[in-house]
Amino acid sequence: MGTSEKAGAVPANGAAPIQRFYSDRSWIEGAAEEQLTFVAGMAGVSSVAAFPDLHPGKYGPVGSAILADRIYPQLIGNDIGCGMSLYALDLPARKLRLDKAAAKLRQLEGVWTGNAGARLAGEDLPTDLHNQALGTIGGGNHFCELQVIDEVTDGALLEAAALRKGDLVLLVHSGSRSLGTAVFGSVLDRFDGLDPNSPDGKAYRAAHDQAVRWAALNRELIAERAAKALRCDLRIVADAPHNLVEDHAGGILHRKGAARVDQALVPLAGSRDALSYLLAPCREQAEALASLAHGAGRKYDRRSMTGRAGGTRSDRDSLGRTSFGGLVVCEDRQLLIEEAPAAYKDPAQVLKDLQSAGLAAPVAALKPLVTYKKAVSDTLESARQDKRRRLWDRRAKR
């Protein structure tokens, strides 16, 4: 693993070598392998690393890191700067009532009303940069999850992070929202890539880097909103972006769903009904391009989840609960189905593969207690807005 265990690690056709850090036990779709081969053959690509969460993406394989001599904006797509942040909460687990916590986390719904200008300025960002979306999670598989530290594998490392079994933590997965979409929109057709030293390359990179900082601030604000709702303090443990370009020895590194490993602990997300993990990255291996898997990775795409989940009444009823006894805050039935736990691979297998490849060691398992997804569906929200408008009109006519 991590070398040429699978055919094609060093292709004969001049394409870049692909280092695969997964075993036969990982569920890897043929389409993802095809995308890997395609990406390795792209002009200027010199190295590709693929992790066990690998699955097909819109423009390339998610769960991979790609080194090239130019910037390929398509490999990053809309959600520039997307990542996972883990926060420790000073909330005693014994006092937690899940139903109450779920109700409080609903406060993440709607816009954030804090001082956006001041927070943006603090990150050296323009004070009006997409501030309407700041502090919001967004749709898809973005989430804010209250978790409890379950099984501990490396007590010393956990203690070094001032954490212990039974502590409550918050895992936040979000990115740059409408800002990333706008930045990507300006380079949509640049399939040949951008010379990093050209005016277009520099302009993309400047806007991209702003989106990366915006996304990190966004995760921080989401965590602050959640902690305020839960009436507790919070402390950052780790922030690992997984969707961005950055300078790397030998070129431009594209993280396409590949976590950065420049800190002691890195979160690996599971699903709303599976354990997530806290990992300790091992000594860096050059072929892994300073990256790790960022999650379990999709097993089934969104469209094919209709029919696989929520088919029966009891199945639909169970979408809001987990086998751990946890709760899911999300009124968007379709999103609940598309993001059902069955849509994802087994995070424990992802962890095993990373361990056998010598890339990371487990520190602790994190059990989901309350998962907040985009709470209100767009249709539900617009129906509510219509109702409010009608009430307003009626009152105005009186």
* Footprint (CB under 6 A) of ligand LQESDW3C, residues 81-100: 82
The secondary structure of residue 16, as a DSSP letter, is P
Residues 294-313, one symbol each (x = binds ligand LQESDW3C by CB under 6 A, - = not), give xxxx----------------
Number of residues that bind Mn ion (CB under 5 A): 1
Structure tokens at 17: 């070598």
Number of residues that bind ligand LQESDW3C (CB under 6 A): 23
Strand partners, 372: 144, 329
* Footprint (CB under 6 A) of ligand LQESDW3C, residues 363-382: 368, 371
Cα separation of 258 and 243, whole Å? 7
The stretches of 49-115 forming alpha helices (DSSP H) are 73-76, 98-105
Q: Which residue's CB is nearer to ligand LQESDW3C, number 70 or number 339? A: 339
Give residue 41's Cα distance to chain centre: 27
- Active-site residue, 294 included: yes
Q: How many CB atoms lie within 10 A of CB 384?
A: 11
Residues 262-291, one symbol each (x = binds ligand LQESDW3C by CB under 6 A, - = not), give -------xxxx---x---------------
β-bridge pairing 18-20 and 45-55: parallel
By the rule CB under 5 A, 280 interacts with Mn ion: no
By the rule CB under 5 A, 221 interacts with Mn ion: no
* Footprint (CB under 6 A) of ligand LQESDW3C, residues 124-163: 141, 143, 145
By the rule CB under 5 A, 258 interacts with Mn ion: no
> Which residues, 6+ apart, have CB-to-CB distance to 357 below 8 Å?
1, 2, 21, 22, 288
* Footprint (CB under 5 A) of Mn ion, residues 80-139: 82
By the rule CB under 6 A, 62 interacts with ligand LQESDW3C: yes
List the one residue out of 188, 259, 177, 258 whose CA is nearest residue 219: 177
Q: How many CB atoms lie within 10 A of CB 337?
A: 21
- CA-based end-to-end distance of the chain: 74
By the rule CB under 6 A, 205 interacts with ligand LQESDW3C: no
> Which residues, 6+ apart, have CB-to-CB distance to 12 below 8 Å?
none
Minimum Å gap between C-beta 380 and ligand LQESDW3C is 19
Give residue 170's Cα distance to chain centre: 14
The secondary structure of residue 312, as a DSSP letter, is S
Collapsed DSSP state (helix, strand, coil) of residue 90: coil
By the rule CB under 6 A, 75 interacts with ligand LQESDW3C: no
81 binds, among ligand LQESDW3C, Mn ion, none (CB under 5 to 8 A by kind): none
Q: Which stretch binds Mn ion (CB under 5 A): 25-33, 37-45, 78-86, 89-97?
A: 78-86
Cα separation of 136 and 381, whole Å? 15
Spot the catalytic one: 55, 142, 242, 294.
294
Binding site for ligand LQESDW3C (CB under 6 A): 53, 62, 82, 141, 143, 145, 171, 173, 242, 257, 269-272, 276, 294-297, 339, 344, 368, 371
Binding site for Mn ion (CB under 5 A): 82
Q: Which residues are catalytic?
A: 294
